[in-house]
Chain A
C-alpha cells in the first residue's frame, strides 16, 4: 500500500484551512458554552420558579440524547419552523447547546464545593443572592470547576468533528470530502488521526498541568 506524500503535501493548505475552521468554531462554542454554564448554574442555585426547572430539564435532555441528532435537528429541523441558521452558526449553536449543559453541571459542582460559610457571611453583609454569586460564589466555583470546564472544552473540540456530517469544511469535513473525490483514504485518515491525537493530547496534558498548579496553595 503506497502512501502518496506529494498528494498529502498538495492538500495540506486545504487541511490547514479546515483546522483553522475547527479552531474558530470550537473557540466560539467554548466561550458561549461557559457563559451558558454560568447562567444556568446560577438559575439552578437561585431557585427561580420556572427557570430553574427549565435549566434542569435542559441539562437532562442534552445529556441523554446524541449530539449528532441534536445537530441534525438544528440544521435540518429548525429551518422548517422558520429558524434558519447558516452552516457555521448551526454548528456553533449545536455545539454550544451540547457543551452548555455539561458546563452547567461543572459550575454547579464548583458551587457545591464553595464553603457555605461564605454565603452566610455575604448575606450578613447585606449582599443579595445574585450579588453573592456574581462577586464571590461564581468566581470561586469557576476556580474549583476549571479542570472539568476545560475537559469539557477539549471534548468539544473533539466533537466538532461531527459538524462534517452537515457539510462544514472543518478538518474532518475537508478530509472526508477529499476521500470522496480521490479515494486516498489512507493518507487523509492518517492526517486526521495524527491531527486529533496531537491536539487533544497536548491540550489534555496542558489541562492536567494547569490543574496541578491550581492545587499549589492546597499542597503542603
Chain B
C-alpha cells in the first residue's frame, strides 16, 4: 500500500515532465508565412549531398529534406515546400527580393552577411578544400599562390581568398558544374569549394583528388530577412527538434554513401573545429 502510494505519484510526475519533451511543440507560425500556404525555401541545386538534382531531375539532398520537413511541420505535408534553386551569388538577393522566405543553401555565417540578413542557430559546420587533377603538383594551400584557382562568386571561399591571398589569380564562376568543367578543361589548376561537395565529386571522378588541407571552416545556418523575429524563432525551434529527433542522421544516411558518412555525421553532431 505505501509502496503504491510512493511509486504512483512519482510515475505521474515523471510522465507529466516527459510529456512536453515528447511533444516538442513548435511556436506558432508567423502570419506572413502562414498566409502563403507554402514554405518558400531557397536551396542549392549544384552541391551534393546538401542540395543537388536527383536522378529524376528533382530536388534532392540533406538540406532539401530539411526544407521539406519544415514544410511538413508548418503546413502538414512535405509537398507544401516550394523550393527554388539559388546560387551562391544570388541567394541573398533572392531572399531580400522576397522570392523565398528562408535560405537552407549551404549558407556560411560571416559578419558581412550578418549585416544584411539574420542567421538561425547553426545546424552544422563546414570546411573548404580544393580539388585538383590527380597528377597536380599542388599539395597544400600555399602551393596555389602563383596559380589560377577556380571558385564560385559569393562563397566563403571567395571571401577567404580575397582576405588571405588578395593577389591570387582567381576565376570566379557561377555554378559548381561550371567550376568543375573549368577544372577539367584546364582553365584553372585548383577548384576551391565546400569540402562536403568536393568529397562527393572526388569519389565520382578518379582523375581528380582532394588536396586534403581544410581551411575556412565556418558554421552553416538558415538565412532569413532582417526584422522577422517570430519566423527566426520558429526556425530555431524546428532545427532544435530536428536535432533532438536525430533526423540529420536519417538524411545523411539517405544521401551519403557508407564510406564517407562519418565525415558528414560529425559536421552535424560535433562542434566546429579550428582551422586556418
Contacts and interface: CB of A to CB of B under 8 A. Distances in A.
A180 B154 contact: yes
A181 B158 contact: yes
Nearest to B89: A180
A167 B112 contact: no
B113 A167 contact: no
Contacts of B162: 181
B172 A177 contact: yes
Interface string A179-215: 0111100000000000000000000000000000000
A183 B115 contact: yes
Chain A contact residues: helix, strand, loop or mixed: helix
Given A76-B178, A76-B181, A167-B171, A181 B186 contact: no
Contacts of B171: 87, 167
A84 interface: yes
A86 B187 contact: yes
A116 interface: no
A213 to B, nearest CB: 43
Contacts of B154: 180-181
B153 A167 contact: yes
Nearest to A84: B185
Interface in A143-178: 165-167, 173, 176-177
A119 B166 CA distance: 59
Contacts of A180: 88-89, 153-154, 158
Interface in B86-110: 88-89, 92
Contacts of B89: 176, 180
Contacts, number: 39
Nearest to A90: B187
Interface string B213-251: 000000000000000000000000000000000000000
B187 A177 contact: no
B159 interface: yes
B275 interface: no
Nearest to A14: B166
Question: Which of B113, B153, B174, B178 has its CB near the most chain A CB atoms (within 10 A)?
Answer: B153
Nearest to A182: B112
Given A177-B153, A183-B92, A183-B115, A167 B173 contact: yes
Contacts of B178: 76
B116 interface: yes
Given A76-B181, A176-B153, A181 B112 contact: yes
A16 interface: no
A87 B187 contact: yes
B184 to A, nearest CB: 9
A86 B196 CA distance: 29
B112 A84 contact: no
Interface string B131-175: 000000000000000000000011000110010000000011110
A130 interface: no
A129 to B, nearest CB: 44
Contacts of B159: 181
Interface string A57-87: 0000000000000000000100100001011
22 contacts: A76-B178, A79-B181, A84-B187, A87-B171, A87-B187, A166-B173, A167-B153, A167-B173, A173-B172, A176-B89, A176-B153, A177-B153, A177-B158, A177-B172, A180-B88, A180-B89, A180-B153, A180-B154, A181-B158, A181-B162, A183-B92, A183-B112
Interface of A: 76, 79, 84, 86-87, 165-167, 173, 176-177, 180-183
Given A76-B181, A183-B115, 19 more contacts: A76-B178, A79-B185, A84-B185, A165-B174, A166-B173, A167-B153, A167-B171, A167-B172, A167-B174, A173-B172, A176-B153, A180-B88, A180-B153, A180-B154, A181-B154, A181-B158, A181-B162, A183-B92, A183-B116
Q: Pick the 5 closest A-B CB pairs, nearest first.
A: A180-B154, A79-B185, A167-B172, A180-B153, A183-B116
